[in-house]
């Protein structure tokens, strides 16, 4: 009988309903971690390779009639524990099978059942609830949740905690409308005829905007406004493409207003400059 090959891609992502692949057990409560504290370790890249190889980047399950090949970006999850204000790594296990656990001794060359995270000298964020701003990539969660707690560590010891209530103070009717209407407004306002020849070019400009509480633009955040041209990052405010993108940003009638950690978050506008966009929207 002919065997079929099924390729299953498993993506690492923090779920919108508030479930994380990295958890922290503290005071008999299980909290979702915003990021993996192992990534703060100096030898993180080597550790990551060891962990993923222990589970196997490619997992083949053979059955009578098929071969199932699974592959993923990050194939494991972590469990952490706080005891007497000290942070410990207590478990590494497979993301796709609860039956596969990695012995810490195989990664850290130790007989200890837990690893003291003395390399952590920063704040870790835990969260609860469904994301109010849902976004992220296959390897990093950048969503925002209504309830977040910051735990500040020094050499792996908890020294301070702060609770935050985050919210969407104002949702822009403009940016949340039909995406086609939004894109049309952006690109039909570009003065294409005043720009240099775009043949064989693909330029991306990222404009960072500081909004007011009423959704109106307060300032352009020039430190985080830039142009990407291939492998080059350009932050010259006099660059013709950056100036044009900023001009468009100033035309946007209102912005989303998101409060996180008691501060209004910057909003972003991304504009692509290439011949295809010029042909589609230019007049």
Q: Is there a single domain that holds both residue 129 and residue 256?
A: no
Place of tokens 């309903």: 17
In the chain, the percentage of residues whose pLDDT exceeds 90 is 62
Judgement on whether residues 203 and 153 belong to the same structural domain of the protein: no
Residues 130 and 177 in one domain: no
For residues 199 and 234, state if they share a domain.
Answer: yes
pLDDT over 80 at 215, yes or no = yes
Number of structural domains (the chain) is 2
pLDDT at site 110: 81
Do 27 and 77 lie in a common domain?
yes
For residues 150 and 257, state if they share a domain.
Answer: no
One domain for residues 76 and 202: no
pLDDT number for residue 74: 66
Per residue in 128-174, pLDDT (tens digit) is 888 999 876 544 567 899 999 999 999 999 999 999 999 999 999 88
pLDDT at 5: 38
Domain that holds residue 77: 4-165
Same domain, 202 and 262: yes
CB atoms < 10 A from the CB of 239, how many? 18
Q: Are residues 185 and 141 in the same domain?
A: no
The residue ranking higher by pLDDT, 204 or 8, is 204
Predicted confidence (pLDDT) per residue in 176-196, tens digit:
778 888 999 999 999 999 999
pLDDT at 61 over 50: no
Residues 242, 227 contacting (CB under 8 angstroms): yes
The residue out of 122, 141, 165 marking a domain boundary is 165
Whole-structure pTM value:
0.76
pLDDT at position 15, please?
44
Q: Mark whether 149 and 239 lie in a shared domain.
A: no
Question: Are 138 and 47 part of one and the same domain?
Answer: yes
96 vs 203, residue with greater confidence: 203
Whether 173 and 161 share a structural domain = no
Q: Which of 41-50, 89-98, 197-206, 223-232 is predicted least confidently? A: 89-98
Residue 59's pLDDT is: 46
pLDDT-wise least confident of 3-7, 28-32, 36-40, 63-67: 3-7
Question: Which of 165, 194, 227 is the endpoint of a domain?
Answer: 165
Which string of DSSP letters, residue by residue, matches the chain? Answer: ---EEEEEEE-----TTS--SEEEEETTEEEEESS-GGGGSTTHHHHHHHHHHHH-SSEEEE-SSEEEEEEES--EEEEEEEETTEEEEEEEEESS-TT-EE-HHHHH----SSEE-TT--SEEEEEESS-SB--B-SS-B--B-SEEEEEEEETTEEEEEEEEE-EEEE--TTTTS-HHHHHHHHHHTS-GGGSPP-TT-EEEEEEEEEE-TTS-EEEE-GGG-EEEETTEEE--TT-HHHHHHHHHHHH-----EEEETTEEPPEEEEEEEEHHHHHHH--
Q: What is the pLDDT of residues 235-271, one digit of tens each?
A: 999 999 999 999 999 999 999 999 999 999 999 999 9
Stretch among 71-75, 83-87, 271-275 having the lowest mean pLDDT: 71-75
| Residue at which a domain ends, from 138, 165, 192 | 165
Average pLDDT, the chain: 85
């Amino acid at each position: 009988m002919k065997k079929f090959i099924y390729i299953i891609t498993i993506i690492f992502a923090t779920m919108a309903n508030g479930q994380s692949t990295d958890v922290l057990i503290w005071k008999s409560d299980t909290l979702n971690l915003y990021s993996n504290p192992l990534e703060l370790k100096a030898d993180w890249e080597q550790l990551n390779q060891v962990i993923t190889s222990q589970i196997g980047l490619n997992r083949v399950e053979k059955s009578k009639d098929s071969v199932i090949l699974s592959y993923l970006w990050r194939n494991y999850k972590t469990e952490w524990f706080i005891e007497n204000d000290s942070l410990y790594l207590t478990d590494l296990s497979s993301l796709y099978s609860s039956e596969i656990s990695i012995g810490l001794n195989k990664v850290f060359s130790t007989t200890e059942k837990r690893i003291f995270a003395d390399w952590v000298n920063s704040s870790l964020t835990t969260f609860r609830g469904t994301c109010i701003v849902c976004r992220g990539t296959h390897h990093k969660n950048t969503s925002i949740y209504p309830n977040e707690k910051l735990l500040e560590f020094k050499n792996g010891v908890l020294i301070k905690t702060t609770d935050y209530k985050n919210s969407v103070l104002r949702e822009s009717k403009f940016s949340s409308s039909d995406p086609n209407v939004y894109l049309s407004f952006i690109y039909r306002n570009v003065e294409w005829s005043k720009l240099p020849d775009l043949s064989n070019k693909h330029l991306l400009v990222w404009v960072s905007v500081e909004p007011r509480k009423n959704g109106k633009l307060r300032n352009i955040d020039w430190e985080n406004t830039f142009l990407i041209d291939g492998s080059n990052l350009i932050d010259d405010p006099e660059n013709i493409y950056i100036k044009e993108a900023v001009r468009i940003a100033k035309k946007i009638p209102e912005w989303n207003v998101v409060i996180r950690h008691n501060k209004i978050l910057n909003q972003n506008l991304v504009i692509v400059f290439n011949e295809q966009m010029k042909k589609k929207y230019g007049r």
